[in-house]
Amino acid sequence: GSSIGRYVRAKVPEGRATDLALDATLRAAAPHQQRRRSSLEGEPQTQFLIEPWDIREKVRETQTGSLILFVVDASGSMGAQSRMVAVKGAILSLLLDAYQRRDRVGLISFRGTRADLLLPPTNSVDLAQVYLQDMPTGGRTPLSKGLYLALEVLETERLKDRDTLPLLVLLSDGRANVSLDARDTGVSTSGKATEEAKSFASLFQEKHISAVVVDTELGFIKLGLAQSIADAMAARYIKLDDLRADRLADAVRQQLPTNDQSELTPDEVQSMVRRLGLT
């Protein structure tokens, strides 16, 4: 048995116990001491007698951490409208939350004609804060590149550890105007870039990657493109304007995936618990 993880309960071992639960073993043996001692003629009556069937071993629980990958639109429209101030505030609240849960975090930004992995997945929330504060802004909006890089990062992490629970948090107005081909940067490509971004967004749904889209769009004329990206991802959709930092943290917490790939109703869970004799 593994000695990694938090000791949550004890059980009768199958075969030889490899991770002895001494407390539970003593509790199992305690009621039988008087009878066992009385059968030992001439022996001192102070011994604590343990039989093989008293032995219990530890059941440990390992908490699988989530990986929260922030994909941040750092294009000119975000900087010009001071959106980045609100975006950075929201992300900082999430970083604090992730630190308390021992989740790993990563940071991708996209602007101009490229997307960059500013911070590969790490447990260092302090490092994430530094990269976030120093993140440059300006230029066009290569949303497809940001999503493509995010998929690559999350798939790589899954290959390293199958138990990784990925969550994408995309912060953007969704107004893609640079397609994956970096040379194709003309204004006339906005339609193509948007459709391409939706195609990439749908891959997150296909790969069962949980996502939250925070729409940073401002102004009277709203195109609703971030909403269409969220729909393609099957993501939770939130408007930055409607958001206090703590509400974003709550939304992300609710969206965090669990290790159970199946979706069970509460009744099914209760039924399983009864069947396993856990109540």
- Domain residue extents for the chain: 6-61, 66-255
Q: What pLDDT does 278 receive?
A: 40
Q: What pLDDT does 48 receive?
A: 82
Question: What letter represents residue 259's amino acid?
Answer: N
pTM over 0.75: no
* Second CATH level (architecture) for the domain 66-255: 3-Layer(aba) Sandwich (3.40)
Strand order across the 210-215 sheet: 114-122, 104-111, 66-73, 165-172, 210-215, 236-239
Q: What pLDDT does 132 receive?
A: 82
Q: What pLDDT does 169 receive?
A: 92
Side-chain half-sphere CA neighbours of 203 within 13 A: 13
Average pLDDT across each block of 10 residues of the chain; the chain has 279 residues. List them in order: 70 87 89 84 74 89 77 78 72 77 87 90 84 83 91 92 86 80 52 84 92 81 82 89 64 64 45 46
DSSP the chain: ----SEEEEEE--SSS-SSB-HHHHHHHHGGGHHHHHHTSTTS-TT-----GGG--EEEEEPPPPEEEEEEEE-SHHHHHTTHHHHHHHHHHHHHHHHHHHT-EEEEEEEETTEEEEEEEEES-HHHHHHHHHT----S---HHHHHHHHHHHHHHHHHH-TT-EEEEEEEE-------SSTT---GGGHHHHHHHHHHHHHHHHHTT-EEEEEE---SSS---HHHHHHHHHT-EEEEGGG--HHHHHHHHHHH---S--S---HHHHHHHHHHTT--
